[in-house]
Structure 1
């Protein structure tokens, strides 16, 4: 059968290839770098570095302010209407720089106010370069103008820099400070290069236009949902670290990162389709997601089964620490998240943002966060990593159930005539 691809379809297909390459790298590199780090700096120092990364994840969400969702859609619409987006671009960059400064000051206060952080203050401050790099990197802009090849090339450059530095310079436990330093270096290089490349498509001005503050207000619900989501995600790791030390955090973060890496299978689809589908009507968006959901569910189920069957072999082959073997059964429990999160992401990352259902997105992510934070606070101090694994799974199950209800029942009634 012969068919002719439209310009939009060709753009989506090309962008998918670029993002798939990047996400493939995101999947493979953790399998190479994490075992190497665990062997060279030890599980305790690896756990410390991961503990700092949990905190940086929260800082990234604040400085992002939901723009990777709301700004992407706005840029896509401006591009479709052939309007200039230099004012909008400049306003976002300056607003992020303001947030970046505020968060750094808050980080200084937290780090030097608590003994738990003060002892390793340099690790936390070196890790903040990741936040700065992410703030500078206009992923939302390149995604909105559908130039995903730039994101891929720059990210690959950053990851190669980080990987080579780790391989050659981190050789013993005392080198653990280099890990956050090199990680920050990679993100900063990516941020600066990408910002320079963005100037080929737009102009940068020394202003924040007044009307931009209305956009900030509209983005607040997305920011709030992202904050609640990341709070729920990192609560297990932070509470584990506080009560059980960095070694246990290291074990849990290895399990979590392997599960999270599996999500990279779906991100190319969501990232590429988002600017394309956000230009469609609500009815068309509903139909497209309805067609896509069974495929995502099948792939997610295959991923879960693969991790359940081969995950133990992967962990015991690449990691030689006895603690990992002790808790391996709890990793198997966590593998179901690869399936549930695929559908939750479909709703929260693609469908709800494309239809500007930001309050619904907040409801879904907040439910998971509340369950995770309350559950972690009550059970993790007493039951440790076992409780963390259970809460990780339960919060994801409740999110996918709520997302399914909102989509299958509420929206089905709205669009039943179509």
Structure 2
């Protein structure tokens, strides 16, 4: 088992690479592809990511939580891994069927079907990816190294192969394939280390259904959150133009790079928070309080910095064609503060204390509001309207989470407890 600090360091490096690679490629891709083709690229990948989210079905949280109980027991670890993988395979078949029907019936999706098919390698990767297993076993650093290797290797290939807007397929492949290859390498590692063992075990259908049911609340929560984060480019693509999707997506990559650093550290810390809660609720709350004290000043600085340097980022990073992205970045800047705190309130407190229904209900309310607001504002104001809609959704989400935690007495408990 690798220590928490080492996991955090490696995962921080992984997250930096995970977002710096797209960021490093963004100035090149936006200039080569232009706003329209760049918008088509991100529209297609957003659709694929939705299928990936469906296939994952919240196992990143639910299976990670279960695997912490089986550390050192290869037989139980292997049985859980095979059960989760078979469950994901059933979801894969359903997801691919929905995707084919969407391509057949919706012209906006049919127009980018080639890019979607190329990007679909990430859906396969989601089925076989053992990231949740590495997280639960506190071996996240190992998976991070594998992913970094393939992410970095993709950079020169993009520069070499993407020369015109017609090469958008290459751009799609090299943004989605690294997870597939790193997952293959990760599986080889698990079998070599005998963490996973070969067995004739075949999970029964009832067990697969039970496994899916145990992950349902996690899926509803994460899916609902994604409805007001990942869905925005899709809504834009349906009601506006590919160019507007390009403006929004270029800005959102920068926002995601900043917020993503906290998200990945949060995923590494999550199993540790769970163990503290298992020992004693007060230990869990003390640990969460330490995280909040560290996060608030860092996120405040990040929000202010993004607001003031957005003109520089737009001019020198994205180029003159993406002038509209400056205002989008300014609108998004408060999200650097809101999102990390919302994750703490939902994942570390509500989910940590077993409030699965509340964990899934709040994002569902927010998602419903977002879909309505985003559709109206995107239709009238394009990418600017979409960015306003996502900010409104994050504010609503934070307020609902904060009020809920107050009513349950958790905010008061955080204030009273000494570190």
| Same fold, TM-score > 0.5, yes or no | yes
What residue is the counterpart of 1:354 in the other structure?
352
What residue is the counterpart of 2:409 in the other structure?
411
What residue is the counterpart of 1:4 in the other structure?
none
Please say if residues 274 and 352 of structure 2, whose CA atoms lie closer than 8 Å, have aligned partners that are also in contact.
yes
Q: Deviations over 1:51-101 (max 9, x none)?
A: 011111211110001000010010012228897322111100111122112
* Bigger mean CA deviation after superposition, 333-342 or 25-34: 25-34
Find the aligned partners of 1:352 and 1:155 in 2 and give their Cα distance.
Answer: 31
1:306-317 correspondence to structure 2 within 5 Å: 306-317=305-316
Unaligned runs of 5+ in 2: none
Give the C-alpha shift of residue 376 in structure 1.
1.5
* Bigger mean CA deviation after superposition, 244-253 or 265-274: 265-274
What residue is the counterpart of 1:74 in the other structure?
66
What residue is the counterpart of 1:115 in the other structure?
107
Give the C-alpha shift of residue 128 in structure 1.
0.9
Unaligned runs of 5+ in 1: 1-7
1:159-198 correspondence to structure 2 within 5 Å: 159-198=151-190
What residue is the counterpart of 2:273 in the other structure?
277
* Bigger mean CA deviation after superposition, 184-193 or 243-252: 184-193
Please say if residues 251 and 325 of structure 2, whose CA atoms lie closer than 8 Å, have aligned partners that are also in contact.
no
CA RMSD of aligned residues (A): 2.2
Q: Deviations over 1:133-192 (max 9, x none)?
A: 122111100000111122111111221232222121111112111112223332221222
Find the aligned partners of 1:134 and 1:164 in 2 and give their Cα distance.
Answer: 25
1:45 matched to 2:37? The reply is yes
1:207 matched to 2:202? The reply is yes
Please say if residues 77 and 279 of structure 1, whose CA atoms lie closer than 8 Å, have aligned partners that are also in contact.
no
Find the aligned partners of 2:185 and 2:107 in 1 and give their Cα distance.
Answer: 37
What residue is the counterpart of 1:34 in the other structure?
26
Task: Flag the 1:83–1:175 CA change in 2: closer, same or farther, 3 A.
Answer: closer
1:65 matched to 2:61? The reply is no
1:339 matched to 2:337? The reply is yes
Q: Select which of 82, 88, 101 maps to 1:96.
A: 88
Find the aligned partners of 2:411 and 2:13 in 1 and give their Cα distance.
Answer: 38
Find the aligned partners of 2:301 and 2:14 in 1 and give their Cα distance.
Answer: 21
What residue is the counterpart of 2:137 in the other structure?
145
Count of residue correspondences? 409
Task: Flag the 1:287–1:131 CA change in 2: closer, same or farther, 3 A.
Answer: same
Please say if residues 70 and 353 of structure 1, whose CA atoms lie closer than 8 Å, have aligned partners that are also in contact.
no
Task: Flag the 1:363–1:294 CA change in 2: closer, same or farther, 3 A.
Answer: farther
Q: Deviations over 1:179-237 (max 9, x none)?
A: 12223332221222222222231225452244453232121111112222212223332
Q: Select which of 391, 394, 410 maps to 1:393.
A: 391
What residue is the counterpart of 1:3 in the other structure?
none
